[in-house]
Structure 1
């Protein structure tokens, strides 16, 4: 698995091109996950979509776990390059770019959890994040913890707002607001705190991502200034 994730592609050779490539297999698997969800990806399904047998696929990829690692790293891609900017704006852009990646491939929310092999693209994302904090005086551990906290906020909001292929629907802020409004309309005295909050909600909907990120960055700013 590590060799496929990190190894250089083999040099071109003379003669007919191979019937399949790891790149082609990975792209086909990503298309399935984008359409039908990560659970729909199997060696049998990918082979069928490529008009090959499952056994032929095993000559290139060892199994589904290996394939999912390849899919994950390719789907994440490299983070966008941005001009140098202050650490706070750099981390905000990093977080929003990460959310955009989850929006393009929501199944990444499932494939990027648990113990697994990490590929070069995923580590490049981490590298970009900690580099934004390199001149802040934070220790390496603090930089990594800050990055994981920010990524956690992004993942939480992505889980709530994105619809996963295959029918798994996130509980969006609109759904929560609608349900609360319906309940509180009939029982306002039972939940006075919620009723008051909902009455002043206008204009602050769908700001969970930015609000949470800015509060995390506020805390980091205090820590950095404290030295």
Structure 2
């Protein structure tokens, strides 16, 4: 015997929540990019009017901040193994979040609201640097350089321009203007066609620099 179809329940729509709003906005950004996100679009996807969202958020800047908080999530627990291992783990985990949500790179640029999760990531990185002979400015700059390195590689990955694609594009230019680039062919031939290593190479060199500075002090 086939059960009868359930009739739709009458009554008011369930109230919106900030996590639900963020989730809907993230779905739009993941599929179409951050530019596609608007208060009106998110409200429509949730089945509400644009004015309904303004009861929860003042505007798009706050919506994007909420999206970023939910996308990057809580900072990781400190990894064992010393300050360098801790920062390596921190940087790799941050890159993972950016690769899952490429629009988050754009969302971190410019004047904008900050949330506790984003600041928590800064706090987590500073915890690894707390015992090093660095000034407060140097510690913050170290974090900025590490985060910037990850954002740049995530942005490059999102644009589908990895090392292999870049090599192909550069080879085409060298074929047309080879006499202008005497050093590039040898460097590219020596680099080979291995997997992308730019992030790990840059991460190691940044931390080498910090380690060298610490050792000199």
2:164 counterpart (174, 177, 199): 174
Q: Does structure 1 residue 209 correspond to structure 2 residue 205?
A: no
Structure 2: stretches of 5+ with no match in the other structure? 1-11
Moved more, 153-162 or 16-25: 16-25
Would you say the 8 A contact 2:57–2:63 is kept in 1?
yes
Q: Does structure 1 residue 76 correspond to structure 2 residue 66?
A: no
**Higher RCO (Cα < 8 Å, 6 or more apart):** 1
Q: Does structure 1 residue 34 correspond to structure 2 residue 30?
A: yes
Would you say the 8 A contact 2:76–2:124 is kept in 1?
no
- Normalising by structure 2, report the TM-score: 0.88
The separation in 2 between residues aligned to 1:104 and 1:117, in whole angstroms, is: 22
Would you say the 8 A contact 2:43–2:53 is kept in 1?
yes
1:154 counterpart (143, 150, 156): 150
The separation in 2 between residues aligned to 1:81 and 1:17, in whole angstroms, is: 39
2:181 counterpart (172, 186, 191): 191
| Pairing of 1:130-145 with structure 2 (within 5 A) | 130-145=126-141
1:88 counterpart (63, 84, 100): 84
Between Structure 1 and Structure 2, which shows a larger proportion of helix residues? 2
SS in 2 for 1:161: helix
The separation in 2 between residues aligned to 1:171 and 1:199, in whole angstroms, is: 19
Please provide the CA RMSD for this pair.
1.9
Would you say the 8 A contact 2:164–2:193 is kept in 1?
no
How many residue pairs get aligned? The number is: 206
Would you say the 8 A contact 2:65–2:114 is kept in 1?
yes
Residue 146 (structure 1) shift:
0.8
Higher Cα Rg: structure 1 or 2?
2
The separation in 1 between residues aligned to 2:180 and 2:36, in whole angstroms, is: 45
Residue 205 (structure 1) shift:
5.0
Residue 45 (structure 1) shift:
0.8
The separation in 2 between residues aligned to 1:212 and 1:96, in whole angstroms, is: 12
Q: Does structure 1 residue 226 correspond to structure 2 residue 216?
A: yes
Q: Does structure 1 residue 63 correspond to structure 2 residue 45?
A: no
Structure 1: stretches of 5+ with no match in the other structure? 1-15, 163-168
Residue 143 (structure 1) shift:
0.8
Deviations 1:91-146 (A, max 9, x none): 11111111101001100011111111110000110001111011112122111111
